[in-house]
Structure 1
C-alpha cells in the first residue's frame, strides 16, 4: 500500500507523531475522507462536522464481512485525504482496494491502542474483566480527559507546522501476524466498538488525526470530541442501569454471529452464537446441536436476530427450543436514518433496551 499511516495510541500521540513532513495545504472546503463502514463513518462525522466530507464504503445495514469494492468506491478512496479503518483485520479487502485506487493519503487505524480480545477468549465472556467497578470505569474516562488536555497543549506548542507519519506496522498488525483463527479475521476480535470505553479510544484517534490533517479547525474537532465523549459516558451509565438489574440466570444471550464479545465482557453478560466472528463462516451441525442443548438446559427464553445476517438458522433454533425471538440487534452496521440504530449512540441504546426488555420480562 502507498498510504502513509497515522497510527495513534491515544490523543497524546500528537507530540510523538509530529515529525518532519510539512503539513499539506488542503483545498478550500471540507476535507475529503473515507470511512470503511457505517459505525466508523458516524463517529468521523460527529467529530469532523461540516469540516469533513465523509464517504462511507459499507453503508447502513451493510455487511463488511462480505463487502465487494466497486469502481465508485475506488474513486472515492483515490480522492480521499484520510482513510479511516477499523483495523484488526476487519476489512480483509482493504489492501486490494487501496492499491486499485492508488491511495496515497493518510491511513488511520481507529482501534489502535485498544486492548483487543483474542479470538480464543470468546468462550470466557463471563470473566467480565473490563468493568469491575464504577470507580475503575470513571478512572478510565478521567484519564481520557487528561490525554485530551495534553494533546491540546502539544497542538498549540507545535503551531501546526508539522505533519504526522508513523511506521505502518502498528501493534495490531503485529498481533495479527502471529496467527489466525476463525475465517476471515485474524487472532483478535475486531468488533471493538461494542464497548463504550473502546468507543472513546476510537473517538480520540479520529480527533487527533483530523486535527493533524486540518489544523486550522483542530479546536473545533476537540470541542466536538468533548461533547461526544460526554454523550458516550452518559449512555454508558444508562445502559449499565438497564442491564445490571438482570438476574444471573437471565444474562445469557443467543445471537446470530460472534460480534458482541466486548459488550459481553464490559456489561457482564454471556453471548453465544452459532456463527463465528465473520458472517462468512458456516456453523457446523455439531455446534448448532450443542447450542440447542444449552438453550434447553439453561432455560434460555429468547434469542436475538441481527440486522446483517441471514436469520433463518436462528429462527429454526428458536422453534426447536421453544425460545422466542427477543428482537433485532445491530452488530456491525447502523440502520438507515429512519431505523432504530441510525447512529452509534442509537445503536448501543437500542441493543441494550432490546436485551433488557426481552431478558428481564
Structure 2
C-alpha cells in the first residue's frame, strides 16, 4: 500500500512539474512570437484551425491542439496542451463524439468553447458497436461546413465584437468557396460509371462525402478508435468488393493500410491510394488546407476507380 501511495505521489509530482514547464514554455513562446494582443482561438484539430483562420482573418490568433498528421479520435492531451488551453480565449471542437478526450480535457478550464457542428444534420453509423451513434466526420461535406462557418462567425463576433462585420464578410466569402468546391466534388464523382460508384475505405469517415456525390460507401471499421480490424470486418469488405466488382479501394492517412491490403490481395482490386480526413498535411504536403483536402480526395478517388493516374 505504501509503495502504491509513493508511486501515485511521484506521478502527481511529474504531472505538476510537466504542467509548470509547459506553462513556462508557453509564456516563452509568446515572448518570442507575440500575438499582438489578439484573442487566441484554440481548435481541437488542424482542419478546424484552417477553416477558422479563413473566418478570423487577421483579427484572431488561431491554433490547433493537434499537429498535422495526428490521429484525432484517440488523442491524449499533454500538460502542454492544457497550458495552451488555459491561456486561450475560446476553444472550438467538432462535437458529434469525435473528440472523446475533450470533455475531460476542458472540464477544469475556465475557457468558453463552441461546438462548430451544431446545426448539422448528422448521419448515424449503422454498423457494429457504434450503430445509432452520429458519424462525427461531418466536415467531409462542404455543405456541412457552411454551418461550421456560421457557428464560427457567431462565436468570433461574441469574442471580438469590434470586428464582427469583418468576420461575417470573411465567412460569406469562404462559404462561396465551399459552394464552388462542392460543385467540383459532385461533378467529378458523379461522372463515374455505375460499378465504379462505390467508395471502399478503412474507416467510415466518408459517409457525408459519399452521400453528397451519390456513392455507395463500404468501410472495414466505423470509427478510428478501434485498434485493429476484425477478421469478420475484413471478410465483409472482401465480399462487398467482389459482389460489386469494385475496381479500387482506399485507406486514410492516419491509420495503417494493412487491413485494406488484405482486401486487395483477396479480391484483385487495386489499392487506389491514401485519403485525408482527420488531419491536414504540413505546408509542403498535398493538403495544407481544407479545400485542398477535399480536392485531393476527390481526385484520388476518381483516379483510383477509373484507373487513371492522379
TM-score by length of structure 1 reads 0.72
1:68 aligns with: 76
1:236 aligns with: 182
Deviation (angstroms), 1:313? 1.3
1:277 aligns with: 223
Provide the C-alpha distance between the structure 2 equivalents of 1:290 and 1:37, rounded to a whole number of angstroms.
Answer: 31
2:148 aligns with: 202
Say what the alpha-carbon RMSD is for the aligned residues.
Answer: 1.8
2:16 aligns with: none
2:23 aligns with: none
- Give the alignment partner of residue 114 of structure 2, picking from 97, 108, 114: 108
- Give the alignment partner of residue 237 of structure 2, picking from 275, 291, 311: 291
Provide the C-alpha distance between the structure 2 equivalents of 1:103 and 1:88, rounded to a whole number of angstroms.
Answer: 21
8 Å CA contact 1:257, 1:279 repeated in 2: no
2:301 aligns with: 355
8 Å CA contact 1:276, 1:283 repeated in 2: no
- Give the alignment partner of residue 96 of structure 1, picking from 92, 104, 111: 104
8 Å CA contact 2:199, 2:210 repeated in 1: no
Provide the C-alpha distance between the structure 1 equivalents of 2:134 and 2:183, rounded to a whole number of angstroms.
Answer: 27
8 Å CA contact 1:117, 1:188 repeated in 2: yes
- Give the alignment partner of residue 60 of structure 2, picking from 52, 66, 71: 52
Tell me how many residue pairs correspond in the alignment: 273
What are the residue-to-residue correspondences of 1:83-162 with 2, within 5 Å? 83-99=91-107, 102-120=108-126
1:138-169 alpha-carbon deviations (Å, 9 max, x no partner): xxxxxxxxxxxxxxxxxxxxxxxxxxxxxxxx
Runs of 4+ in 1 over 4 A off after TM superposition: none
SS of 2:118's equivalent in the other structure is coil
TM-score by length of structure 2 reads 0.84
2:3 aligns with: none
2:171 aligns with: 225
Q: Which runs of 5+ in 2 are unaligned?
A: 1-34
Provide the C-alpha distance between the structure 2 equivalents of 1:275 and 1:326, rounded to a whole number of angstroms.
Answer: 18
Is it true that 1:253 corresponds to 2:202 in the alignment? no
Is it true that 1:40 corresponds to 2:60 in the alignment? no
8 Å CA contact 1:90, 1:190 repeated in 2: yes
Deviation (angstroms), 1:105? 2.1
Q: Which runs of 5+ in 1 are unaligned?
A: 1-26, 124-180
8 Å CA contact 2:186, 2:212 repeated in 1: no
Which of structures 1 and 2 has the larger relative contact order (alpha carbons within 8 angstroms, sep 6+)?
1
